Amino acid sequence: MTILAQRPKSMTDKPMHYCPGCGHGIVHRLMGEAFDELKIGERVIGVAPVGCAVFADDYFACDMVQGAHGRGPAIATGIKRSKPNAIVFSYQGDGDLASIGMAEIVHAAVRSENITVIFINNAIYGMTGGQMAPTTLVGQVATTAPKGRDPKLQGWPINMCEMLAQITGAKYLERVAVDTPQHVMAAKKAIKKAFENQVKGVGFSMVEVISQCPTNWHANVEQALEFVRTKMMPQYPLGVFKDEGAN
Amino acid sequence: MTQKTLRKGNEALAEGAIRAGARFFAGYPITPQNEVPEFMSAYMADAGGAFVQAESEIAAINMVYGAASTGTRSMTSSSSPGVSLKQEGITYLASADLPCLIVNVMRGGPGLGSIGGAQGDYFQATRGGGNGDYHVIVLAPNSVEELGNFPKLGFELAEKYRMPCMILADGILGQMMESMAFNFDPIDPNKLGKFDWAVDIEKNGRPKRKVFSYKGDNLIADVTERAKRYGLIEKTEARFEERNTEDCDVLLVAYGLSSRACLEAVNHAAEKGLKVGLFRPITLWPFPSKRLLELAGKVKAILAVEQSLGQMVQDVKLAVGDKTPVYLKAYPAGGQPEGEAILQAAQSALSGKTEGLFDLQRHAEGFTYECKRDLSLGVQGDRKGGK
Ligand SMILES: Cc1ncc(C[n+]2csc(CCOP(=O)(O)OP(=O)(O)O)c2C)c(N)n1
Ligand code: SF4
Ligand SMILES: [Mg+2]
C-alpha cells in the first residue's frame, strides 16, 4: 500500500477549531508541508497571534510562543536574535498586523529581521465578530461599519505588500490566495520560498494570503470564494512585490 | 569581586547586567536612563548577546517576551512614561511565567512630567501595573553599588519563580557617580543549565513546548497556582535594611534615593540626641511588612518618606495597622528630600504637630475648586463639516 497523502509531520493531530471554509486551516497545512519538505521542522519556533489563529500554537508540532495582539514581529525578533539557528515565523491576521501591530511589522522589515511572516488578510476582524479591519474593502459591511466602509469616514483599505515594498529591508513580499487549487499550489510555493529565504539568511520575508472568512462575511463558502475573486483581488492583486532573495 | 571604581549609576547597572549573564537587551531612548541602552549597544555584542534599539517600548518589552521564551537572560530598561507603555508586555510576561529583568529609572510624572528623578511609579511597580492579577518582584537599590549588583539578584529571583523582576531606581541614582564594586564574578550564561519550559530548536523527540498567555478555561487554575508562588515569595523573599532601629522613638521608612536623605537625618538625630531610626525596604514587592510590624511595636511614631504623593505610605499603613501612628513626608513629582527637613518632620510626628508632614485632606483645607463651562465664551459648537 502506498500512502498518497497524510498529515505533515510538522503538524499535530489536534482538530482545528476554524469555521468551515475558513482560509486559516489551509494555510496552516501549507506551512506544515513546507516545513516537512525543507526538513526544518526541528528548527522551527512559531509565534501565534491574537485573532482567530490564537490556537495555532496547538496545531504546529514545533515549539510555539503566543503573545500580545500585533506584537508578533517583535516577539519573533527576540526569539531569532536569541536563537539565530531557529527558523522563526510570525503568523498574523490583518487587524493584528496592519492595525495594532503596524509599527512592529514595519520595523521588523526595516531591520530586515531574518524571519518569515505569514499574513492572513481576510478584510475583517474575525475573532471579535466581524468589526472593520484596516483591510476592509470600500463599501464592505462590518459590525463597526454598518453602512459599509466609507472612505470619507474610515479611509481606504491598506495594501501591506505594496507599502512594505518601499522598505529596503523587506526582501521578499508576495500576495497569494487560497480560493482555487491552482492558487493553493502557488501559495504553497510562496510560503516555502519565504521559509527557504530564512534558511539562506535572506532577511525579512512575508507572504500575504487573501483568505476567506465565510462567517463574518455572512456568506456561504461558495459566495465567500466569489467574494475573494470579484472583490478582494481587484483591491489586493496577487503577485510578487519584492524578491531580492537571489541577490 | 572587583576593586572599587568610580561609576555612573546607569553604567554600573548595565555592566552589572552583562556580568550577571544578560544576553538580550531591547530598549528605546528616554532620559534619564539613556546610558543603559548606550552601554548595551557598545558591549552586548562582544559579550555574545544581542542588542536591539526597538521602535517603541511596546516593541522592546515584546522582544524581551520572545527572547525570554528561549530561556535567554533578557532585559529592557526605560523611564516612567516608557514603563507605562511596557505594561502590556509585563502582564503578558507574568501570564506566560517568563523570567526577565525590567529596569525603571523613574522620572517625574504623571504624563511626560519632567526628566528629574522621582518615585512616582511605586503603585505601578508594586501593584502589577498592567491588567489582571499578578505581581512582579520589585528591587529598590539606593546606591550605585546596588544598581550594579542587583541585576544578578534580579535574574536569580526572576528565574527561581518564573516571573518578571523589576529594578526600580530613579533619575538621580541613575545619573550620579559613586565608588562601587561588583560583588560577584562574571557569569557565563552559556554554562548555565537549560529550562524544561523554554522553546528551543534541539527537540530530540521531547514533546512540543508552548509559551502562551491565553489560558481560557484554565485561567482560574493558572492564576491560583501562580498565587502560591506569590505567597511563598511574600514569606521568604522580603529584603530590608535597618539603621538605629534598636531603641528609637521615630522610625523613618524610605526606599531608594529617599533613604539616603533619611540616613542623613538619622545621623543628624544622633548628634542632637534624638532617637531616630531607619527602615529601608529593599524589596518593594514583597514589602517587608512582617519586620516593619515588629519594629512598629517598639516606636512612638513612624514617618514614611517618599518622593511621591503618598504611595509607599499605604504599604506602611497596611503593615502596621493601628499599632503606631504613621505620618508622611512627601516630595512629589521630583522634589528632592533633604535630611534636615526630614528630621524636623520626624520631630513633628513625635510631638503631634503637623509641621512638615503631608496629609492630602489637610493639604486641601480651606480650598475650593470648580471648573465651569461658560456660555459667555461661546458655545462648544457642532461637528458640521467634520468627519
Ligand atoms: C490589546 C488588544 N486589543 C484588542 C483585542 C481584541 N481582539 C482580539 S482578536 C482581534 C482582531 C483579530 O482580527 P485579525 O487580526 O484580522 O485576525 P482574524 O481573527 O481575522 O484572523 C481583536 C481586536 C485584544 N485581544 N488585545
Ligand atoms: S471567524 Fe472567519 S477567520 Fe475566524 S475561523 Fe471563522 S471563518 Fe476563519
Ligand atoms: Mg482578519
Q: What is the ipTM of this complex?
A: 0.97
Position B293 scores a pLDDT of 98
Residue A14 lies in a domain: no
Quick: pLDDT tens for A21-62.
Answer: 999 999 999 999 999 999 999 999 999 999 999 999 999 999
Residue A6 lies in a domain: no
Residue A42 lies in a domain: yes
Give me the domain span that covers residue A183: 24-243
* Residue B259 and residue B279 in contact, taking contact as beta carbons nearer than 8 Å: no
Distances (CA, A) of B178 to B144, B153, B184: 6, 20, 18
Residue A97 lies in a domain: yes
Positive or negative torsion for Cα B327, B332, B338, B344: negative
B87 in the same domain as B20: yes
* Residue B349 and residue B357 in contact, taking contact as beta carbons nearer than 8 Å: yes
Interface of A with B (CB under 8 A): 12, 42-43, 45, 47-48, 50, 54, 57-58, 60-68, 71, 74-83, 85-86, 103-104, 106-107, 110-111, 152-153
Quick: pLDDT tens for A180-225.
Answer: 999 999 999 999 999 999 999 999 999 999 999 999 999 999 999 9
And the C-alpha cell for B196? Answer: 524544561
| CATH assignment at residue A130 | 3.40.50.970
Give chain B's length: 387
Reported as a pLDDT band with limits 50, 70 and 90, residue B259 is very high
> How many domains does chain A contain in total?
1
B68 in the same domain as B87: yes
And the C-alpha cell for B29? Answer: 531612548
Q: Indicate if the pLDDT at residue A247 is higher than 60.
A: no
| CATH assignment at residue B355 | 3.40.50.920
Give chain A's length: 247
B250 in the same domain as B230: no
B279 in the same domain as B206: no
Q: pTM of the full predicted structure?
A: 0.97
User: Going edge to edge, which strands form the sheet with B250-253?
Assistant: B240-243, B276-281, B250-253, B301-306, B326-330
B349 in the same domain as B298: yes
B258 in the same domain as B180: no
Report the C-alpha dihedral over residues A137, A140, A145, A151, rounded to 10 degrees.
Answer: 50
Cis before A157? omega within 30: no
- Ion ligand 3 neighbours (CB, 5 A) are A 93-94, 122, 126
User: Across the interface, which of B56, B63, B208 has its CB nearest the CB of A78?
Assistant: B63
Q: What is the CA radius of gyration of chain B?
A: 23
B353 in the same domain as B250: yes
| CATH assignment at residue B147 | 3.40.50.970
Q: What is the CA radius of gyration of chain A?
A: 17
B142 in the same domain as B107: yes
Q: Which helix (H) or strand (E) holds A235?
A: helix A233-235
Question: What is the pLDDT of chain B when averaged over all its residues?
Answer: 96
% of chain B beyond a pLDDT of 90: 94
Among B236, B269, B286, the domain-final residue is: B236
Residue A149 lies in a domain: yes
Among B236, B271, B287, the domain-final residue is: B236
B328 in the same domain as B253: yes
> How many domains does chain B contain in total?
2
> Residue B88 and residue B313: Cα distance in Å, rounded?
27
> Residue B145 and residue B131: Cα distance in Å, rounded?
33
Strand partners, B169: B105
Reported as a pLDDT band with limits 50, 70 and 90, residue B353 is very high
Give me the domain span that covers residue B216: 5-236
> Residue B160 and residue A185: Cα distance in Å, rounded?
48
Mutate to test the pocket of ligand 1, among A59, A121, A128, A208 (most ligand atoms within 8 A of CB): A128
B159 in the same domain as B31: yes
For residue A20, which atom of ligand 2 is closest to its CA?
7
Mean pLDDT, residues B207-220: 96
> Residue B184 and residue B74: Cα distance in Å, rounded?
19
Residue A10 lies in a domain: no
In which region does residue A201 sit, left (phi positive, over 0), alpha (psi from -120 to 50) or beta (all else)? Answer: left
Task: Sort strands B210-211 and A63-66 into parallel, antiparallel or unpaired.
Answer: parallel
And the C-alpha cell for B319? Answer: 503593615
Question: What is the pLDDT of chain A when averaged over all its residues?
Answer: 97
